Structure 1
Amino acid sequence: MSIQNPVFIPGPTNIPESLRKACDMPTIDHRSSLFAEILPPVLAGVKRVLKTETGEAIIFPGSGTGGWEAALSNTLSPGDKVLAADFGMFSRKWIDMCRRHGLEVQVVEAPWGAALPVGEFAAILAADTEHQIRAVLGTHNETATGVRSDIGGLRAAMDAAGHPALLFVDGVSSIASMDFRMDDWGVDVAITGSQKGFMLPAGLAVVGVSRKAIAAMETARLPRFYFDFRDMLAMNPASGYPYTPVVGLLNGLKAAIAMIEAEGLDAVFARHHHIAEGVREAVRAWGLPFCATAPESYSDTVTAIVMPEGIDGNAFVAHAEKRYGVSYGAGLGAVAGKVFRIGHLGQLTETQALAGIATAEMAMADLGIGIAPGSGVAAAQLFYRSSPVLAQRVAAE
Structure 2
Amino acid sequence: MNGQNPVFIPGPTNIPDRLRLAMAAQTWDHRAPDFVDVFHPILEDAKQVFGTTKGKVITFPASGTGGWEAAVTNCLNPGDTVLISRYGMFSHKWILLCQDHGLNVEIIEAEWGEGAQADRFEAALTADKSHRIKAVLATHNETATGVRSDIGAIRAAIDASDHPAMLFVDGVSSIGSMPFEMDAWGVDVAVAGSQKGFMLPTGMAICGVSEKALAACDAAACTRSFFDFKQMAAANAGGGYPYTPPVNLLLGLRESLDMLTAEGLDNVYARHARLAEGVRRAVSAWGMSLVAKRPELYSETVSAIYVPEGFDSDALTNHAYDTYGVSFGVGLGEMAGKAFRIGHLGSLTPTMALSGLATIEMCMADLNYPIELGAGVAAAQEYYRTGAPLAMAAE
Is TM more than 0.5 here? yes
Stretches of structure 2 that go unaligned for 5 or more consecutive residues are: none
* Structure 1 SS opposite 2:61: strand
Cα distance in structure 2, aligned partners of 1:127 and 1:46 = 37
Match of 2:178 in 1: 178
Match of 1:323 in 2: 323
Cα distance in structure 1, aligned partners of 2:34 and 2:27 = 11
Aligned AA (2:371):
I
Cα distance in structure 2, aligned partners of 1:215 and 1:64 = 22
Cα distance in structure 1, aligned partners of 2:115 and 2:38 = 38
* Structure 1 SS opposite 2:244: coil
Q: Is it true that 1:135 corresponds to 2:135 in the alignment?
A: yes
Match of 1:381 in 2: 381
Cα distance in structure 2, aligned partners of 1:204 and 1:106 = 29
Match of 2:356 in 1: 356
Q: Deviations over 1:349-374 (max 9, x none)?
A: 11100000000000011111010000
Match of 1:151 in 2: 151
Contact 1:173/1:301 (CA < 8 Å) preserved in 2? yes
Match of 1:311 in 2: 311
| Residues 304/389 of structure 1: CA separation in 2 closer, same or farther (3 Å cut) | farther
Match of 2:77 in 1: 77
Match of 1:112 in 2: 112
Stretches of structure 1 that go unaligned for 5 or more consecutive residues are: none
Cα distance in structure 2, aligned partners of 1:184 and 1:107 = 26
Match of 1:343 in 2: 343
Contact 1:275/1:349 (CA < 8 Å) preserved in 2? yes
Q: Is it true that 1:163 corresponds to 2:149 in the alignment?
A: no
Query: Normalising by the residue count of structure 1, what TM-score does the alignment of the two structures yield?
Result: 0.97
Match of 1:301 in 2: 301
Q: Is it true that 1:63 corresponds to 2:93 in the alignment?
A: no
After the TM superposition, list the runs of 4 or more consecutive aligned residues in structure 1 that deviate by more than 3 angstroms: none
Q: Deviations over 1:139-161 (max 9, x none)?
A: 00000000000000000000011
**What is the aligned length?**
393
Cα distance in structure 1, aligned partners of 2:274 and 2:170 = 23
Q: Deviations over 1:15-42 (max 9, x none)?
A: 0000011111000100012321321111
Match of 2:249 in 1: 249
Q: Is it true that 1:271 corresponds to 2:271 in the alignment?
A: yes
* Structure 1 SS opposite 2:77: coil
Match of 2:190 in 1: 190
Cα distance in structure 2, aligned partners of 1:130 and 1:69 = 26
Q: Deviations over 1:224-250 (max 9, x none)?
A: 000001111111012121100000000
Q: Deviations over 1:87-141 (max 9, x none)?
A: 0000000000000000000001101111111111111111111111000000000
Contact 1:146/1:298 (CA < 8 Å) preserved in 2? yes
Cα distance in structure 2, aligned partners of 1:323 and 1:279 = 22
Q: Is it true that 1:20 corresponds to 2:16 in the alignment?
A: no
Cα distance in structure 2, aligned partners of 1:46 and 1:221 = 29
Cα distance in structure 2, aligned partners of 1:45 and 1:371 = 46
Contact 1:194/1:200 (CA < 8 Å) preserved in 2? yes
| Residues 393/61 of structure 1: CA separation in 2 closer, same or farther (3 Å cut) | closer
Match of 2:262 in 1: 262
Cα distance in structure 2, aligned partners of 1:67 and 1:349 = 29
Contact 1:146/1:292 (CA < 8 Å) preserved in 2? yes
Contact 2:178/2:300 (CA < 8 Å) preserved in 1? yes
Cα distance in structure 2, aligned partners of 1:38 and 1:328 = 36
Match of 1:99 in 2: 99
Contact 2:9/2:328 (CA < 8 Å) preserved in 1? yes
Q: Measure how far apart 1:393 and its partner are.
A: 5.2
Q: Deviations over 1:46-78 (max 9, x none)?
A: 111101111001000001000000000000001
Contact 2:349/2:391 (CA < 8 Å) preserved in 1? no
* Structure 2 SS opposite 1:319: helix
Cα distance in structure 2, aligned partners of 1:72 and 1:223 = 10
* Structure 2 SS opposite 1:136: strand
Q: Following superposition of structure 1 onto structure 2, how do residues 197-212 of structure 1 map, counting pairs within 5 Å?
A: 197-212=197-212
Query: Normalising by the residue count of structure 2, what TM-score does the alignment of the two structures yield?
Result: 0.98
Q: Deviations over 1:204-234 (max 9, x none)?
A: 0000100000110010010100000111111
Cα distance in structure 2, aligned partners of 1:34 and 1:319 = 50
Contact 2:139/2:170 (CA < 8 Å) preserved in 1? yes
Cα distance in structure 1, aligned partners of 2:218 and 2:73 = 12
Contact 1:286/1:372 (CA < 8 Å) preserved in 2? yes
Q: Deviations over 1:256-284 (max 9, x none)?
A: 00100111111100000001100100000
